[in-house]
Every structure is written in C-alpha cells, then in structure tokens.
C-alpha cells in the first residue's frame, strides 16, 4: 500500500512532512490520517528534527478537509469514529515537541484549516483560499476549529467566519491573523525553509520548553501561566546547551547546540 504521507530531512534540523494525495486534494482519508499519525510519532522521537514543515503535494490543495466521498455510506457510528480520528490526529500535530510551520501550498478548507490551526505558525501562497466551511454542510468544525480559531484571532472574528462559512483569500487570512506570511507560490518553499532555519539554529530544548510554556500558559490565568513558565525555564538550567549558550556569548561565537 502506498504511503500517503512522506517525510524528508532537509538538513540543519529542518524536516518536512508532505500529505501525498494530490489527486484527492490531500483530503483526510482513514489511511492518510493513520499514516500521518504514525509519521508524527516518528518525528516526535527524532532528535535530528528541530523544526517541522507541514505541507501538501501539488499546488492546488494543502488539505481540503475530510474525505467526504469516503464518508458516503458510513453509519452514524462510523462517522463519529472518523471525526474522532481527525480530531486526534490534529491534536497530535499540536502536541508535537518541535515547532511546526504549516506551509499552505493550496486550499485549506474545513479539517484542512483545522490541521493548519494546530501548527505553531502558518505561511501561505498568494493563490491560497482558507475557511471553516462546515456550517454550509450541515455540521460544525469538529477537529478543534471552534476552539483554536477563537484563541488565535479572537472570539468575534472567529464566530463571524464559522457562522458564515466564509472562504478567505490569502491576503484576507493574513489580515485576520490566521496566517503570518503570504508569498508568491514559487517563493513559498524557500521562504518556509528560511523561517524554519531561523528557528532551528536556536537551542532545540529551549524551543521545546518555549512551546510548552506558551501552549499551556495561554489556557490558564496569568499567575498559573507564570508558574508554568518557571517550570519550563527550570527544566533548561541543568542542560549542556544552556552552558554552551553562555560560553558562546562570552567568546563572541555562534553556539553549537547539541540538544543535550
């Protein structure tokens, strides 16, 4: 059986995960979700990967969301199971130890946008369109969209987009705060790698703890968040990389971090 998700280590700590169903707009079939979950488990344990790019094959679609053709004929119970599988896989992206950049090479609708929202950062090609379109299909976002979008752009804007099922172009998505950068299609991969390298040059354990502190802290009150930050900081004090960072600063050279 052909793998529907591929991984490539680009070097300098940057790895790229690619959804490989361009003929089906990289829609989330059961096999694609299973392959993606397995790949995330492997990447999560790989110390050579400091930053992850997540993209889709082709230029038309990052991910068009759930595979609605596959869903035809499913029982209510089966539909519920597949929705849970999508939600669990998207949550696994968010829980990945390394920073993840969604590289939106094409449309990201429904579950496709929910997948991107679970990433740490999002950059898009100028021709991209995105949207949580579920209410136009008689459902609602079921893989975290009703929770992650308000946290990212604010509750009023999120309600507007979810209630209207509106599709945004890349520039509109940037103005809403859904994506950080918009580039021409031919620039997208190069710009994504540049951003990833800018992150990957820093101490990998620091990236892990910073992600933990931000993701957990945003869910709680400030006092609790500050305690979370303190614990994340404390985890770095005994590391070799912290000492290397100090020494490199004193010696006015670029630090060589080992992830230890």
For residue 180, the model assigns a pLDDT of: 98
pLDDT per position as a tens digit, 101-154: 999 999 999 999 999 999 999 999 999 999 999 999 999 999 999 999 999 999
H/E stretch holding 44 reads: helix 30-44
Domain CATH number, residue 122: 3.90.226.10
Same domain, 95 and 122: yes
CA distances from 152 to 17, 140, 180 (A): 23, 18, 11
pLDDT at 99 over 80: yes
* Identified catalytic residue from 66, 102, 173, 210: 66
- Structural domain ending residue among the three candidates 200, 228, 243: 200
Domain assignment present for residue 260? The answer is no
Domain assignment present for residue 236? The answer is yes
124 is catalytic: no
Same domain, 196 and 246: no
Same domain, 171 and 211: no
Domain assignment present for residue 68? The answer is yes
pLDDT at 100 over 90: yes
pLDDT per position as a tens digit, 54-78: 999 999 999 999 888 888 888 889 8
* Identified catalytic residue from 57, 65, 106, 114: 114
Domain that holds residue 63: 5-200
For residue 259, the model assigns a pLDDT of: 87
For residue 228, the model assigns a pLDDT of: 97
Q: Stretch 157-170: mean pLDDT, rounded? A: 98
Domain assignment present for residue 257? The answer is no
Q: Stretch 74-86: mean pLDDT, rounded? A: 90
Same domain, 167 and 140: yes
Domain assignment present for residue 58? The answer is yes
134 is catalytic: yes
Same domain, 164 and 224: no
* Identified catalytic residue from 112, 125, 134, 200: 134
* Identified catalytic residue from 13, 15, 111, 112: 111
240 is catalytic: no
**Residue 119 dihedral angles phi and psi, to the nearest 5°:** -80, 165
For residue 58, the model assigns a pLDDT of: 92
Q: Rounded to 10 degrees, what is the CA torsion of 210, 143, 165, 72? A: 150
CA distances from 254 to 131, 155, 165, 233, 260 (A): 42, 42, 48, 22, 17
Q: Classify residue 108 by burial, with Cβ atoms within 10 Å: 0-12, 13-18, 19+.
A: buried
Same domain, 28 and 46: yes
Domain assignment present for residue 256? The answer is no
Same domain, 107 and 26: yes
Same domain, 84 and 38: yes
Rounded to two decimals, the pTM is 0.95
Q: Rounded to 10 degrees, what is the CA torsion of 21, 27, 33, 35? A: 0
pLDDT per position as a tens digit, 187-242: 999 999 999 999 999 999 999 999 999 999 999 999 999 999 999 999 999 999 99
Strand partners, 52: 15, 100
**Residue 42 dihedral angles phi and psi, to the nearest 5°:** -70, -45
Same domain, 121 and 38: yes
Domain CATH number, residue 244: 1.10.12
Same domain, 150 and 245: no
Same domain, 155 and 225: no
Overall number of domains in the chain:
2
Tell me the C-alpha distance between 134 and 131, whole Å.
9
- Residue 53: band (very low, low, confident or very high) from pLDDT cuts 50, 70, 90: very high
**Residue 171 dihedral angles phi and psi, to the nearest 5°:** -65, -40
Domain assignment present for residue 193? The answer is yes
Q: Stretch 177-188: mean pLDDT, rounded? A: 97
Are the C-beta atoms of residues 153 and 107 closer than 8 Å to each other?
Answer: no
- Structural domain ending residue among the three candidates 200, 215, 236: 200
56 is catalytic: no
Same domain, 220 and 162: no
H/E stretch holding 245 reads: helix 240-251
Domain assignment present for residue 258? The answer is no
């Amino acid at each position: 059986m052909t793998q529907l998700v591929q991984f490539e280590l680009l070097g300098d700590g940057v790895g790229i995960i690619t959804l490989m169903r361009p003929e089906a707009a990289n829609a989330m079939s059961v096999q694609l979700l299973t392959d993606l979950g397995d790949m995330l488990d492997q990447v999560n344990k790989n110390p050579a990967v400091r930053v992850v790019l997540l993209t889709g094959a082709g230029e038309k679609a990052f991910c068009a969301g759930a595979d609605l053709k596959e869903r035809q004929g499913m029982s209510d119970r089966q539909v519920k199971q597949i929705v849970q599988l999508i939600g669990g896989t998207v949550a696994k992206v968010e829980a990945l130890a390394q920073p993840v950049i969604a590289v939106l090479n094409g449309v990201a609708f429904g579950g496709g946008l929910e997948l991107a929202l679970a990433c740490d950062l999002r950059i898009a090609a100028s021709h991209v369109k995105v949207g949580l379109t579920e209410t136009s299909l008689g459902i609602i976002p079921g893989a975290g969209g009703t929770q992650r979008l308000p946290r990212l752009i604010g509750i009023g804007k999120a309600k507007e987009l979810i209630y209207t099922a509106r599709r945004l172009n890349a520039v509109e998505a940037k103005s809403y705060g859904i994506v950080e950068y918009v580039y021409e299609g031919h620039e997208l991969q190069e710009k994504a790698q540049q951003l990833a390298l800018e992150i990957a040059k820093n101490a990998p354990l620091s990236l892990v703890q910073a992600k933990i502190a931000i993701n957990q802290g945003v869910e709680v009150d400030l006092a609790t968040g500050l305690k979370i930050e303190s614990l994340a900081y404390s985890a770095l004090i005994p590391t070799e990389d912290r000492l290397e960072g100090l020494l490199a600063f004193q010696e006015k050279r670029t630090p060589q971090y080992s992830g230890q």
